[in-house]
Structure 1
Amino acid sequence: MKRPLRSAAFALLLAGTSTVAFAQGGGVLTVATIGEPPTLDEMQTPTDIVLTIGNHIFETLYTFDKEWQPQPLLAAAMPELSEDGLTYRIPLREGVTFHDGSGFDSTDVVASLKRWMAINSKGKQVAGVVESVEPDGEHAVTIKLKSRYSPLIATLSQASIILPSEKLADTLTEFVGTGPYQLKERRPDQYTQLVRFENYKSPEGEPSNYAGRREAIASEIRFVPVPDANTRVEGLISGQYDYADSLPVSAFERVEASDTAAPVIFQNAGWTSLNMNMKEGVLTKKGLRQAVQVAVNPTDMMLAAFSDEKFFGIDGAFFPEGFVWHTEAGVTRYGEGDPEAAAKLMSEAGYDGTPIRILTSRQYEFHYKTGEVAKAYLEAAGFKVDLQVVDWATLTTRRADPKQWDIFITHSNFPGDPTTLNTITDTYPGWYVSDQKAKAVAAYMNATTQDEKFKAWEGIQTVIYDDAPLVKVGNFNALGGLAKGVKGYEPAYWPRFWNVTPRS
């Protein structure tokens, strides 16, 4: 049974002083983002801008530490796993409250996970192997699987946000979480205003990426959509913004030379890709997808997008050197662009001259520049290309409809578990489904040791290159900008502003 609303004073007494984040600071942090989020519902649309804002409002059972390994957040500990690997018992933290004052318990977790499995692309993938999700008393849940699923906890670390069971609906009308900040006001195309949640109960431990202690030092965070990258730069330098996200690398020296701000580089922030539509349209033919891989030039695309080699690396592997999952197994058709070889593949596959519709956005300027170069190389190989430049919210809406596009340009991070890569999910836009992928992924799911997992991952990467659902372009470092006087900010894939002190 759900616990009733509790007063703030009672909540503080119940929680205890050792684990509550008592914020003694104040002030406002103004953050310039790449645009307006299409929603704040992470389950529906787990894009970077939605997660950047939502991570402050909502929490998941687990989150990622600096090694991108799962750590408890709303869970009290790592799960207890049965000997056969099919039953997970997850203990829950006690004394946590939602922003509406209601108590957090197993009822909320079960209802939230069921919604996540019904509407989220990764959740739907998990749903296929879940037999049941049930409360185990008030402070634990039990997940029973039909078959082993080794990336379960890593998958539960993103977008499977826990909401009050009473507020759940297909379409959320209230955005109520357990995070250090709560939503106060959202004015589309103007700002999303978050304010400190005074009754927030933080997890314990030293901060490590998204894990560990979270203290809401700033009394308010205001996320301001600024679609034009140069406007974000000007606003940062003028002192209008405390942080500016996703700056063009051409602005590095100007920001570094300013008296008001400093550049922030996040190493190996992610990788860019051309994701292809395997469900409808011209690229449903494998031979034409492979022709796209052969035609484009990763070096020229990354150079156009990032200008300076200190901001990118050319590597066809899905994880960079130094990462535990790095391997060159299966990497093929990744090089410097070969229009003649591409034309041969196009002829063999029966290309009929239908234009390839490429979706990209200038809100991520490196996406747009990647698209321009890709268009030139594809046309040199003989493809007709329709490059469509739209805002990011429109792109995420259109890519959900397989009738509206053939390629969309995006970027992704390097997750702790390789099978949580978006492209491996059957329902992620692009709809990459094949028998050989299913077989390769099944081998990974059944692996029990790290060596077995690594060997299985090599098989998955090999299959991805053969099926050609996307073009891996290259790895990049991300550039942001931070106002001088702001303290405690640590670079992160999704910028986070708990534990951050505003300018005085």
Structure 2
Amino acid sequence: MNALGKKIMAIGASVAVLFSLTACGSSSASSSSKGVDGGTIHIALNATVTSLDPMITGAYVARDTMRSMYESLVTLKQDGSVGPLLAKSYKVSSDFKTFTFTLRSGVKFHNGETMKASDVVASMQRWIKLSQIGSTFFTGSTVTSPDADTVVITSPKPVSTGLYLMADTGRIAAIMPKSVIDKATSTGVTEYVGTGPYEFSSWDKDNKIVLKKFADYSSPTGATNGYTGKRVAHADKLEFDFVTDGTTRLSGTLSGQYQIGYSLADSQYAQAKANSSLKVEKDEMLETLIFNKQEGLFKDNTKLRQAILAALNMSKIAKAGHQNSDLYTNDGGLMPKNSPLRSDSSLDKYNDPDAAAAKKLIKESGYNGQTITFLTTKDYPYMYDESMEIQNELNAVGIKTNIQVLDWASVLQKMFQPGSWDMLISSYSYSANPISYSFFQASGAGWNTDPEFKEIADSINAATTETAQKAGYDKLQDWFYTYVPNIIVSKYQQISAVSTKLNGYSSGMQGPVYYNLQLSE
């Protein structure tokens, strides 16, 4: 790789180091007892999974489940830098337009077929067409195979962040058999076939997903490092149970019914932390208020979005949602503090409530008392509590809201139905690069199609110096606080309870690893 490429990769790696130290909670909850192979590991999820097509859904419960089934060419190390997975090696051209991957040989799909370059070509073509990141940054790219062991992606424009975009696990660039892709419908693939250490077994759509150990799995070499390196399916099965009640998830983990209780309420933090049979694992998330910019009151109404930013007291909202101050930080930056990609530009507009300014902007926006449809859920208690506080604060400046409380699966469905909502709260793992956040993509929640974002993202991808990159990130954050596509509420630590009778728990910058888990004696 050329000098500039190495420099950019180094910047991304250093950012990710910060993520792993401050955001991921990537410690291991392991027992002092010896691990044993076999058995079923039960993971209690807080919401149902609505799709097992990794290019269609970005929901965390689905992402973390599918990580054991599907694999990509490259993925993220513990420090957030890029490493190989199904690719044996890769290189990037000096103009950041050509990405060449040498494939690992002998990799089997769950249906018994051997992975071929034609499967990779079909998969990456589908990812570019369907995924938010692929369609935003790689549209117009070609995917070819000059020989049986090589796949080349050629972009019409520079994509200096390209490897990170392909390594992102939010909507994984999963490699699947071409035969499965050819049979896919508009709603997704109809067969769930990947190359991961676990394969699909069953899906009771209201209750659970069961994955079983893939006997012919071919693991990458090297020590496990984030999502790279050795992967071992110790358990016979992974069972993901849909348990929307947080008390049941915690009590079930305490009783041994579940080995992991995912995404507990902040109110359960002290109880879980005090119990010697559990370890509390944390994943830092960015929580944000999203506006529907495709249809309704917020479409083409920057003034109204600015008014809501001016009206809200983020300190009060975050406190309402997170009972323990150890579990959130009021910070409006797109990246964490001390990150090389961090910008402090325009942060004077964050958490600066001004009722008079809000009312002035409301008048200028043309808003005349219409009711805003505000979706929320109790599956994530903080979302409901914060929504109620937001409603109170908006009511104080004359903005009416109708809060609709739905289960999280329904929120995810309505999120992509523009006529169903105006505003909602959601949360996101950190991105390796801020331009790849889902809420900035045209097909992401809120439908950001502002051409200025595209211009800024293109300038960052085409940057040839660190100074130019820094200017790009400052401009991005200035745009964020002027256009207000969405509003950062706070950064918070999502907590999960993990039994000390479970070995091998780890996580990366985008959620937990389940395939290396092992029951103890």
Alignment match, 1:164: 177
Verify the 8 A CA contact 1:106 1:136 in the aligned structure 2: no
Q: C-alpha separation between the residues in 1 aligned to 2:338 and 2:67?
A: 27
- In structure 2, what is the Cα distance between the partners aligned to 1:127 and 1:86? 10
1: distance between equivalents of 2:275 and 2:83? 38
Is residue 275 of structure 2 the alignment partner of residue 263 of structure 1?
no
Query: Does the CA-based 8 Å contact 1:265-1:491 persist in structure 2?
Result: no
Say whether the 8 Å CA contact 1:205–1:213 is kept in structure 2. Answer: yes
User: 2:351, 2:57 → 1: CA distance?
Assistant: 33
The two structures have a TM-score, normalised by structure 2, of: 0.89
> Alpha-carbon deviations, 1:262-298, whole Å to 9, x = none?
32233xx111000111111111200000011111111
Partner of 1:104: 115
CA distance in 2, matches of 1:450, 1:207: 31
Query: Given the alignment of the two structures, is residue 230 of structure 1 paired with residue 247 of structure 2, yes or no?
Result: yes
Where do 1:354-433 residues align within 5 Å?
354-433=370-449
Structure 1: where are the runs of 5+ without partners? 1-22
User: Shift of the alpha carbon at 1:491?
Assistant: 4.0
TM-score, normalisation: structure 1? 0.91
Is 1:480 the counterpart of 2:490? The answer is no
Which of 270, 277, 287 aligns to 1:272? It is 287
Q: Secondary structure at the match of 1:337?
A: coil
Structure 2 residue runs without a partner (length 5+): 1-34
SS state of the match for residue 268, structure 2? helix
Equivalent of 2:143 in 130, 133, 136: 133
* 1:496 and 2:508 are equivalent in the alignment: no
Helix, strand or coil: the match of 2:263? coil
Higher RCO (C-alpha 8 Å, min separation 6): 2
Secondary structure of the 1:282 match is coil
Q: Alpha-carbon deviations, 1:24-63, whole Å to 9, x = none? A: 7222210000111011111111211110100000001111
Q: Write the distance in 1 (CA, Å) between the matches of 2:205 and 2:229.
A: 32
Query: Hey, what does 1:459 align to over in structure 2?
Result: 475
Q: Distance in 1 between matches of 2:489 and 2:358?
A: 17
Q: Return the alpha-carbon distance in structure 1 between the equivalents of residues 466 and 68 of structure 2.
A: 33
Using the alignment, how far apart are the partners of 2:467 and 2:198 within structure 1? 41
Asked whether 1:298 is paired with 2:314, we answer: yes
Partner of residue 173 from structure 1, selected from 161, 177, 190: 190
Pick one of 77, 96, 100 that aligns with 1:85. 96
3-state secondary structure, aligned to 2:491: strand
Question: How many residues matched?
Answer: 478
Map of 2:231 onto structure 1: 214
Within 2, Cα distance between the matches of 1:263 and 1:67? 21
Per-residue CA deviations over 1:46-104 (Å, capped at 9, x if unaligned) read 21111010000000111111222221111112x32233332221111111110111001
Deviation per residue, 1:435-480 (Å, 9 max, x gap): 3222212211211344432321121111111110101111111211
Q: Post-superposition shift, 1:243?
A: 0.3
Matched, 1:468 2:492: no
Match of 2:62 in 1: 50
| Structure 2 equivalent of residue 199 of structure 1 | 216
Q: Is the 8 A contact 2:36 2:519 kept in 1?
A: no
Corresponding position: 1:288 with 2:288: no
The reply on whether 1:68 has 2:80 as its aligned counterpart is: yes
For residues 301 and 81 of structure 1, what CA distance do their matches in structure 2 show? 44
- Which residue does the alignment assign to 2:346? 330
- SS at 1:205 equivalent: coil
In structure 1, what is the equivalent of residue 160 of structure 2?
150
* Bigger mean CA deviation after superposition, 119-128 or 210-219: 119-128
Distance 1:490 1:259 in 2: 19
Indicate conservation of the 8 Å contact 2:129/2:139, yes or no. Answer: no
1:390-440 CA distances to partner (integer Å, 9 max, x unpaired)? 111111111111111111211111111221111221221211122322221
Distance in 2 between residues matched to 1:335 and 1:126, nearest whole Å? 32
Structure 2 Cα separation of the partners of residues 137 and 303 of structure 1: 57
CA contact (8 A) 1:32 1:225 kept: yes
In structure 1, what is the equivalent of residue 43 of structure 2? 31
The 3-state SS of whatever aligns with 1:216 is coil
Q: CA deviation at 1:374?
A: 1.1
Deviation digits for residues 112-163 of structure 1, max 9, x if unmatched?
A: 1112222222221134241x11112111111111111122211212321111
CA distance in 1 between counterparts of 2:343 and 2:441 reads: 21
Q: Distance in 1 between matches of 2:439 and 2:143?
A: 26
